[in-house]
Amino acid sequence: MAKATKKQALGRGLSALLKDPENDIKSAQDKNADKVVGNIVELDLAAIEVNPFQPRTSFNEEALEELATSIKELGVIQPITVRKIDFNKYQLVSGERRFRASKLVGLKTIPAYIRIANDQESLEMALVENIQRQDLDPIEIAMSYQRLIDEINLTQEQMSDRIGKNRSTIANYLRLLKLDPIIQTGMRDGFLSMGHGRALININDADAQLEIYEKVLSDSLSVRETEKLVKSWHEKKSGNKKSSTVTVPTKVKKSMKEFSDYFGAKVDVKVTKKGAGKIIVPFSSEEDFERLTKLIKGEA
C-alpha cells in the first residue's frame, strides 16, 4: 500500500512540474524531460484531447458503462498514453475507452504515460498500440493496417515486424476491405465474423456477394456453411459457362480445314446458338496481312 501511495505522489509531483510555464518541456532534450517522458503522471482530464488518428470509430456503450463501474471501484489500473502537444495540453495516443469511462464517473485526473512525438509518429503509435491492445473489430484492424501502408508508408513486411503478426494474417485482414461496404458494416456491427468475411471475399460479383450475405444473416449460417454456399455458387457459375459453349457444326468444321489450307494459317470459327458466327484469320506480320489481302481479292 505504501509503495502505491508513493507512486501516486510521484505522479502528482510530476504533474505539478508540467504546469510550470517557466520550465515547459517541449522536446526530449529539454530540462526535466527525462523525469516526465516514459513515467506515469497524473494529468487533468480537461487537458487531454481525443486523438484524431484513433482507428476505433465506435464504442460499445454497455461495455463502456461496465468499464466505468470498474474504474469507479478500483481506479484506472492501466495508464493511458498521451503525447504532449503544447503547454499543459495533451493528445491521446491510446486508451480512449479508459479516458471516456473516467469522464463518465466524474474523475478529474487520470494516470498517463507521456510521449513527445510528431504527428506521423503519433499516428503510427496510435495505430500500432490500438491494434495490439484494443478489441477492434476486423474492419477497424484492416483499416488500421491500410493506414499504416498509406500514411506511414510501411510495407507488409515492416508492418509484420512492428505488430508481431504474420504477413499472411495482415494480407487476410486487408482483403476484407474489398468487401461491399454493406458487408463491412455487418462485420463492424458483429453480425459476421472474420471467417464469414474471408469466405464472401471469394465472390467477385457484387450482387451475388450481397445476395449470399443476406442469406447468411437470414439463415444464421456458420462459417463452414457459408464456405459451402460460396463453393456452390462457383460450381454453378462454372456450369453455366460450360453450358453456354456452342458446338461447331460438322459441316463448318470441314470448311475450316479448307479455309486453313487456302490461307496458309489456322483459321478459327465462332458460332452462336442461333447459327450465326464469324471466321477469324490470324496474321503474323504486316507482310503476312498483305498476303492474306491478296488471297481474299483473288490477286495471289
Bridge partner list, 114 = 37, 82
As a whole number, the mean pLDDT across the chain is 79
Structure confidence at residue 26 (pLDDT): 61
Structure confidence at residue 15 (pLDDT): 65
Q: Which of 130, 61, 58 is nearest to 94 (CA)?
A: 130
Q: How far is residue 226's CA from residue 229's CA, in Å, rounded to a whole number?
A: 5
Of 22, 73, 96, 227, the catalytic one is 96
Q: Does residue 155 surpass a pLDDT of 50?
A: yes
Based on its alpha-carbon atoms, the radius of gyration of the chain, rounded to whole angstroms, reads: 32
Mean pLDDT of 267-286: 76
**Domains detected in the chain:** 2-118 (3.90.1530.10), 194-243 (no CATH), 250-297 (no CATH)
Structure confidence at residue 6 (pLDDT): 40
Q: Which residues contact 258 (CB under 8 A, 6 or more apart)?
A: none
Structure confidence at residue 48 (pLDDT): 93
Q: Which of 236, 188, 176, 200 is nearest to 55 (CA)?
A: 188
Most confident of 123-127, 225-229, 235-239, 285-289: 225-229
What is the SS3 string spanning the chain? CHHHHHHHHHHHHHHHHHCCHHHCCCCCCCCCHHHHECCEEEEEHHHEECCCCCCCCCCCHHHHHHHHHHHHHHCCCCCEEEEEEECCEEEEEECHHHHHHHHHCCCCEEEEEEECCCHHHHHHHHHHHHHHHCCCCHHHHHHHHHHHHHHCCCCHHHHHHHHCCCHHHHHHHHHHHHCCHHHHHHHHCCCCCHHHHHHHCCCCCHHHHHHHHHHHHHCCCCHHHHHHHHHHHHHHHHHHHHHCCCCCCHHHHHHHHHHHHHHCCCCEEEECCCCCEEEECCCCCHHHHHHHHHHHHCCC
Structure confidence at residue 201 (pLDDT): 93
Largest Cα separation within the chain, whole Å, is 109
Question: At residue 200, what is the residue type?
Answer: L
Q: How far is residue 82's CA from residue 80's CA, in Å, rounded to a whole number?
A: 7
Q: How far is residue 112's CA from residue 203's CA, in Å, rounded to a whole number?
A: 46
Q: Does residue 253 surpass a pLDDT of 80?
A: no
Q: Is 96 a catalytic residue?
A: yes
Mean pLDDT of 218-245: 82
Q: Are 92 and 49 contacting, i.e. CB atoms less than 8 angstroms apart?
A: yes
Structure confidence at residue 292 (pLDDT): 78
Return the minimum-mean-pLDDT range out of 59-73, 153-167, 226-240, 266-280: 266-280
Structure confidence at residue 220 (pLDDT): 92
